[in-house]
Chains A and B, each alone.
Chain A
Amino acid sequence: EAQVTQNPRYLITVTGKKLTVTCSQNMNHEYMSWYRQDPGLGLRQIYYSMNVEVTDKGDVPEGYKVSRKEKRNFPLILESPSPNQTSLYFCASRSLQGAKETQYFGPGTRLLVL
């Protein structure tokens, strides 16, 4: 089954305590990305990756890092979380092959930073 998985699904942390949210896909997709969802703002892209070792900033990259050492994994790193990073985070993946590409989303990670 085509799947994007994220862990953890829920996380409560404190300001400044580094955390990592993992993302993995089993579809051999080249393109992966991270979004945050906030009420009234829809989804905004944080970072994306076109392939292994190729990453780039999205619309709201401040305070986040990513890495793409393997094709299937795309972790999101918050080196020093702050309360304004409290949000719902989604990982997504898709292929880069023409008009049939569909973006698949993970189930989301709800993060609360105190």
Chain B
Amino acid sequence: AQSVTQPDIHITVSEGASLELRCNYSYGATPYLFWYVQSPGQGLQLLLKYFSGDTLVQGIKGFEAEFKRSQSSFNLRKPSVHWSDAAEYFCAVAPLSGSARQLTFGSGTQLTVLP
């Protein structure tokens, strides 16, 4: 069964500092990969997704993620964090084939931004 691991439950960074959130997946073949953000009291918003091609994916709000097949990782990065980035971040995977294509989520990483 596919699984997603986000090893960092909580990360604290200062505003303006760089950010990297880790995501590792376990799956038989390269799946579709996603990062979602959940602001307090809000639903989930898609930041970016990887299906194929260039392994560096650009998303909204200045985020990017890099797919590394050899490490089964899809880490999310941002060069300079803003206070409004404080939120919970979820990595998710879905199989390439099959129209059901269920999303499997990691347990999330809570980001705190210090002024």
In this complex, how many residues of chain A approach chain B with their Cβ under 8 Å: the count is 24
In the complex, chain B residues whose CB is within 8 Å of the CB of A43:
44, 90, 92, 103, 105
Q: How large is the interface on B (under 10, 10 to 19, 20 to 34, 35 or more residues)?
A: 20 to 34
Inter-chain CA distance A33–B1, complex, in Å, is 19
A-B pairs under 8 A by CB, number: 50
**Chain A contacts for B6, CB-based, 8 A:** 42
- Complex: how many Å from CA A35 to CA B106? 13
Q: How far is the CA of A99 from the CA of B49 in the complex (A)?
A: 10
- Of all chain A residues, the one with the shortest Cβ separation from B1 is A59
- Chain B CB within 10 Å, residue with most, of A40, A43, A106: A43
Residues of B with C-beta under 8 A to A35: 105
Q: Is the CB of B90 within 8 A of A50?
A: no
Do the beta carbons of B44 and A90 come within 8 Å of each other?
Answer: yes
Contacts of A99 in B (CB 8 A): 51-52
CA distance A86 to B45 in the complex (A): 23
Q: Is the CB of B105 within 8 A of A102?
A: no
The answer, yes or no, to whether A61 is at the interface (CB within 8 Å) is no
Return the CB mask of A42-76 against B: 1 if under 8 Å, else 0: 11110010100000101000000000000000000
Query: A89-102 interface mask toward B, CB cutoff 8 Å, 1 = contact, 0 = none?
Result: 01010001001001
Residue A12, interface by CB 8 Å: no
Q: Which residues of B contact A4 (CB under 8 A)?
A: 43
Q: Is the CB of A45 within 8 A of B107?
A: no
In the bound complex, do residue A40 and residue B107 qualify as a contact, i.e. CB atoms below 8 Å apart?
A: yes
Chain A residue contacts of B52, Cβ below 8 A:
99
Binary interface profile of B, 7-26, with partner A (CB < 8 Å = 1, else 0)? Answer: 00100000000000000000
- Residues of A whose CB lies within 8 Å of any CB of B are 4, 31, 33, 35, 40-45, 48, 50, 56, 58, 90, 92, 96, 99, 102-103, 105-108
Q: List 18 A-B contacts (CB under 8 A).
A: A4-B43, A31-B99, A41-B107, A42-B105, A42-B106, A42-B108, A43-B44, A44-B105, A45-B102, A45-B103, A48-B100, A50-B100, A90-B43, A99-B51, A105-B36, A106-B43, A107-B42, A108-B42
